Amino acid sequence: MSELDELTVAALAGLDPAQGDRLRALIRSGDRRAAALAGLQQLVMALARAMDEEVILDEVAKGAQRVLGVRGVLLLDITEPDRRITVRRRLGDDAVGFELPAGDGGDALTETWRTGTPLLLRREVPPEAVLLDATWQREPPLEGMLLLPMVHGRKLFGALVAWSDEPGVLDEEARDVGTTLAVVAGTALNNARLHMESERERRQSDAMAEVARAVGESLKVTEVQRLILRHAMALVRAAGACTALRDGDYLYVQSAAGIADVFTGVVLPVQGSLMGQVVLSGQAAISNDVATDPAAYHRNLQLVDVRRAVIAPLRTARGIIGALALLNRDEAFHDGDARILQRLADQVAVAIVNARLFADIQEATREWSSIFDAIGVGMVVVNEEGRVLRCNVRARQLTGDETTFGLIGRSFHAAVLGLPHPPPNDPLRMAIEDGARGRARCRHANGRVEIDIIAMPHPDGGAVVTFDPVEGPPHG
């Protein structure tokens, strides 16, 4: 027997029965408080290590049953504004059949949810004032029920319902302990959701950075589109994705992934389709019931069972060029998904514009190269030092070099005239140094050929030089 027990026995021996009963009650109350505090401390330590909401709910349910000493526990979530109840956790032998449907606003659970105030119900409370007769009149009958909102500040994360069939278990003291427990649970759930949001933002930032790098490094729009579609599906957890570009009154699906892969090459009307509606309005759209949506192009629904869709426009400085869509997932799409998709759609638009500009430049370069090579005289572009930067086919023929690289980097005077130094009447000097047109006939180092040379200053420095062998007296 401990020293405390000996003192207790000694104290009880000197008291009358009534005083002894009160002392015993105080001792039991103290023991309960100590056990509750120890249980709360254990729960707080467990929740401090948890950042996953499902793990937190498990710990809260077990901790509530252990700390309060109750028969069963329910953790509930209520969706506003229809107050639809979702049971997140059940704990207790009879918890499987324990249902708490939201009423018309007069039941205890709804009142607790609205006010955020703990509520202790006992046997003397009429059954119709609680929830359902079946939840109160049980075998054995319930002696008490505790309804606790899990809150953090002004945010309500759910409700904890505990019940007992033993008299005296759920009392005012249990309500105070339960209130503290519910606040601890609300704080842990708030931290978990903040952590989850932070992780989601980090993943989005990483994905956006990778997409931006791909857009900057690749001029192949199909590669960039496939990368963006993969990231979009992963970020929003969608089952499929596709991009469509506008051409007149129609949209052409250029790239697709996941369940949308069968849409590749499909043509959609701008008037009469969800993607067309987004292109015309320039605003993202969400449809969580595509089958009954009047704006949907139902002919394509025969290819894939599209139930949900979120679509964002491909916006450029010159207008909307198409749309990016994500298709199907278990839960409904929401505004947050549309914002993520719009950021990705902006990257797609940049990639497409860059690819089109690159294609235009390539085409212009091919045309210029064809014209450059078709010129019947030798033509080269030289830098400020007189070294060849570019040459046409005729220049290679006249200098006897079979490849382009035979001239590139060489001194013009050495390559064309065979001279180690510029001649006295050098036309390149007038073009490069004086910025004026220079022309002269210069004799080749072999002494047998005279070459007519015309040099024009280049806007970026250096000169554009044409040359051709000539017959007759040289020009001064």
Q: Which residues contact 291 (CB under 8 A, 6 or more apart)?
A: 298, 301, 306, 307
**Taking CA 406 as the corner, what is the angle to CA 404 and CA 411, rounded to the nearest 5 degrees?**
110
pLDDT band at residue 277 using 50, 70 and 90 as cut-offs: very high
Please check the confidence at residue 187 and state whether its pLDDT lies above 80. Answer: yes
Please check the confidence at residue 301 and state whether its pLDDT lies above 50. Answer: yes
Burial (CB count <10 Å: 0-12, 13-18, 19+), residue 116: middle
For 27, the 3-state DSSP assignment is helix
pLDDT of residue 439: 92
Beta bridge pairs of residue 467: 378, 453
How far is it, in rounded angstroms, from Cα 236 to Cα 366?
42
pLDDT of residue 8: 53
pLDDT band at residue 295 using 50, 70 and 90 as cut-offs: confident
Average pLDDT, integer, range 68-80: 77
How far is it, in rounded angstroms, from Cα 210 to Cα 203?
11
Asked if residues 288 and 333 have their Cβ atoms less than 8 Å apart, the reply is yes
Top-ranked range on mean pLDDT: pick from 106-110, 124-128, 230-234, 413-417: 413-417
Percentage of residues of the chain with pLDDT beyond 70? 77
Question: Domains plus CATH for the chain?
Answer: 30-195 (3.30.450.40), 220-359 (3.30.450.40), 375-470 (3.30.450.20)
Please check the confidence at residue 142 and state whether its pLDDT lies above 80. Answer: no
Percentage of residues of the chain with pLDDT beyond 90? 17
Average pLDDT, integer, range 307-311: 92
pLDDT of residue 475: 45
Taking only the tens place, the pLDDT of each residue in 16-53 is: 666 666 656 666 666 666 666 676 777 777 777 777 88
pLDDT of residue 464: 93
Taking only the tens place, the pLDDT of each residue in 218-244 is: 666 677 778 788 888 888 889 999 999
Taking only the tens place, the pLDDT of each residue in 415-444 is: 888 888 888 888 998 899 888 999 999 888
Weakest mean pLDDT among 63-67, 83-87, 188-192, 444-448: 83-87
DSSP state of 332: P
E-only strand ranges, 283-329: 285-287, 309-316, 319-327
Average pLDDT, integer, range 49-65: 82
Please check the confidence at residue 196 and state whether its pLDDT lies above 70. Answer: yes
Q: Which residue has the higher pLDDT, 321 or 372?
A: 321
Asked if residues 311 and 274 have their Cβ atoms less than 8 Å apart, the reply is yes
Taking the CB of residue 96, how many other CB atoms lie within 10 A of it?
Answer: 9
CA atoms in the 13 A half-sphere facing the CB of 257: 21
Taking only the tens place, the pLDDT of each residue in 92-102 is: 755 544 555 54
Average pLDDT, integer, range 126-130: 49
Please check the confidence at residue 328 and state whether its pLDDT lies above 90. Answer: yes
Query: Which pTM was predicted?
Result: 0.52
Please check the confidence at residue 164 and state whether its pLDDT lies above 50. Answer: yes
pLDDT of residue 233: 86
pLDDT of residue 324: 92
DSSP state of 80: T
pLDDT averaged over every residue in the chain: 79
- The H or E element containing residue 441 is strand 438-443
Q: Which residues contact 81 (CB under 8 A, 6 or more apart)?
A: none
**Taking CA 458 as the corner, what is the angle to CA 454 and CA 464, rounded to the nearest 5 degrees?**
35
